[in-house]
Structure 1
């Protein structure tokens, strides 16, 4: 009798939660993120460990640049699904974006958690390209005393080259550009663009010509070929 009574009490809550989740999901898919957020946060109160709800809310937080909220959602997700590489990567990504907003002392205090998250993503998925890019940027921007290292950035760039030649050349170009070795960056971006022939590879080389090498003639010639 008690079990039957409990079923009658719980069933309406479960139905309400499911119905509202579907509404929130449809709003999310329609890119009505603010409306979806309100509904999905309500769903989360009744189902605090629901993977799909947490995932949608994490994506919404990232879209809204609410990095603290995003980190909280992805932290919960990586605890619930400790074998899912993307949850670690996105957790680290939210921390990295938050670090840009706070003062240097707070930012440096977040570095170990970022590294650990990105490295774990690679451990779980050895072919994880975005996590390697994140570590390259991290090692480029960190001061040497806090672990910044060109050699470590190059190491991850070499790993990218094995997984994706385009990303390999792009990351080498990025490292050269960061250290103002613009002619070397140009060579790597040219190779990346020859292979990739994408808007991303074009834009990197175009921006280098225009903003760093100060060569508008090369920039316009590249643009003409890309748009032909």
Structure 2
């Protein structure tokens, strides 16, 4: 019997109790108690105060994730298949990722405005590299024996890619997608920090200005739940699509 979930739940309860006891010794401005944060969160959800911000941030995350991951997958396939493109573009891709995204956010807002577009672009840029890197790795490190078998059978390059390289590389690709999902939330919030009047990131800045620490904690909790929900959705599809190929790879 796997008792890890039970121990995890016990640890969670212990952390909440420790937080509650510690918060009672401090000002609510410094560290609000979990009970206070929960009351603020439920009140905001019940009154509808949080919903426009949740929808706005979720939309930015999903659009940025779709755009960045889609481009990362396509470019990763091309660079994995064509060595010339890989040698030509990979140094520039790495250089673009070395620049802190927080430093680029004001520039994107200057180019694309204070609306949703700038946040989607920032999120897409952050999500792009994990999918690109993992897709290139998946394409490059396909089992050599299976590649030789496909050559013997007379498979074309396209058939080898579709029927061997991509299916066998699904575990690597989904691993990159799991990283991208978490980073997508970070990207959207970073964009909202710089310039936004709506969204969970904008609410954090507003709560800081109002010195409303319980509100800030409740928004952080919402962002955590959003990231965890997206991660679990990706994990759900990974178990159904990639796990069979992962078992074959281990064999």
Do they superpose with TM above 0.5? Answer: no
Higher relative contact order (CA 8 A, sep 6+): 2
TM-score of the superposed pair, with normalisation by structure 2 = 0.22
TM-score of the superposed pair, with normalisation by structure 1 = 0.23
